[in-house]
Chains A and B, each alone.
Chain A
Amino acid sequence: MSTGRDLLARLAPLLACLGLLAIWQAASLALNNDSFPTALRAIEAVPSILGDKEALINILASLRRMAIGFGVAVAVSIPLGLLMGRSRPVASFFNPLLMVIYPVPKAALMPIIMLWLGVGDLSKTLVIFLGVSLPVIYHSFAGARAVEEKMLWSGAAMGLSAAERLVRIVLPAALPEILTGCRTGLVLALITMITSEMIARQSGAGNILFNALDMGEYDTVFAMIIIVGAMGIGLDALFERVRARLVRWSEPQFDMPLSFS
């Protein structure tokens, strides 16, 4: 009985996917609109995109930019966030600046950054970096601030230096919260990737998507939506696995992803 239940729980996301595709299929059959192909036709168009060598290279290049931007952003943001959480002057130094930057759409900086750095990989990666940084900084900040003082006192009493306390006490204690931020950052990296490529129409998955829209190739548009959506869901599921392994000791606060752009 319990295994049946487990199986159902494991299959539930898959069932949800199928259900959503079925709704799509039904809606497009009902609307019978040229620019809204059925789910089946969109799925049929997926292999032809992935089979096309140039498109595949484009998509892989997008993913590489995303990985670099995400990696650098995480490497910079976690130490900064932790420092902000443990030191009041650092927090009050950076907080207002971050609040000013937060509501600016990072991909909207693309036209300006393109003027300075060109349309190449560098500007796109920089935009992804900017987009990922903020949530990771905020979550690391919140996580570091919530660390129990007693643990830090005991650490200090045992002769740990401030830097050691940060790495050996604050970092592990804030890890669940940091990983929540990284998960948000991952979805955000994907979104920024698509939008930056939409603005700098040169290469990448976003370029394929919006070019197809301009050309009126609706099957390709919807197939790309499926591909990008699958990337988002796949990366999120992968990250969730890593997270579960890293912080097995902590109860997951949300077992649903807290994503936002």
Chain B
Amino acid sequence: MNARAVTTDILLGLLPIVLLIAAWQALVSFGYAPVTLLPPPGQVFGRMVRQILDPTFQQDILATLFRLFAGFAVAVVIGVSIGLAAAANPMINAVVRPIVRVLAPLPKVALYPALLLLLGFNHESKIVLVAADALFPILLSTYYGASTVEQKLIWSAMAAGTSHREILFKVVLPAAAPSILTGCRIGLVISCIVVFLAEMITSTDGLGHVLVTAARTFQTVDMFVPLITISLLGLSLNGALEGLRSYLLRGFPDV
């Protein structure tokens, strides 16, 4: 893949985004959509820049980020440990498998009212919801990665006198790393989505709350700002994870 092809790709990729914004502008300027329903893009992005410099809005972003990272971290820790344990131990597997089979397709948002009643309206209920939603993709991809580790690797480690515990951490975990990181990536996108939804349902701060307040007062411009912000947050977190992935997986073939 040469540099020229990459430039073409990037230009091609920018095209639909540019077209979308152009169509948006056209809808407004030719009077198909009233400005109260669809504010022009210039106004939205101008508002966006002003909001990002505003300390209150920054507080909202920070609150969202805190819940997102807390929930995601819990999901990673629990997901990776259960996934590894289930792959390593048939007994644990026999217990975990049916439970996961039941819980994974359960729409977790429906549990949110229960979490609210049990944990209150503060950070805890939102963090638990984020963790519950991000958990399963991470758990499943860890399990999948760990249970498809090449048997020869494990045999050679055993032949070299490695203990069972050490095999788990020094052979299985690194070998499953690509799969685990793929799961984390899905989990991260989910965390973005879920934290926003939870904040929309009940919250006093955070990006979701900004959207709901704007919707209640029909401030259309302010409704677009949090949506674009969460999209940008998701993109940059995804990029950061991608960077971490290529750093952690340097030397892995074909990832």
Contact = CB atoms under 8 A, between A and B. Distances in A.
Interface of A: 12-13, 15-17, 19-20, 31, 33, 35-36, 88-89, 92-97, 99-109, 111-112, 115-116, 187, 190-191, 194-195, 198-199, 209-210, 212-213, 218, 221-222, 224-225, 228-229, 232-233, 235-236, 253-254, 256-261
Contact of B189 (A13, A102, A218): A102
Interface stretch (B7-15, B160-168, B169-177, B247-255): B7-15
B107 A187 contact: yes
Given A96-B17, A102-B234, A229 B107 contact: yes
A232 B13 contact: no
B17 A100 contact: yes
Given A105-B193, A116-B37, A232 B113 contact: no
Contacts of B108: 191, 261
B235 A103 contact: yes
Main secondary structure of the interface of A (DSSP, over half): helix
Contacts of B190: 260-261
B55 to A, nearest CB: 24
B31 to A, nearest CB: 15
A156 to B, nearest CB: 23
Interface string B84-117: 0000000000100111111111111111011011
A213 B106 contact: no
A103 B233 contact: yes
A209 B110 contact: yes
15 contacts: A12-B101, A15-B98, A92-B10, A93-B13, A102-B234, A103-B237, A104-B234, A111-B212, A195-B197, A225-B114, A229-B110, A258-B140, A260-B186, A261-B109, A261-B194
B102 A190 contact: no
A213 B230 contact: no
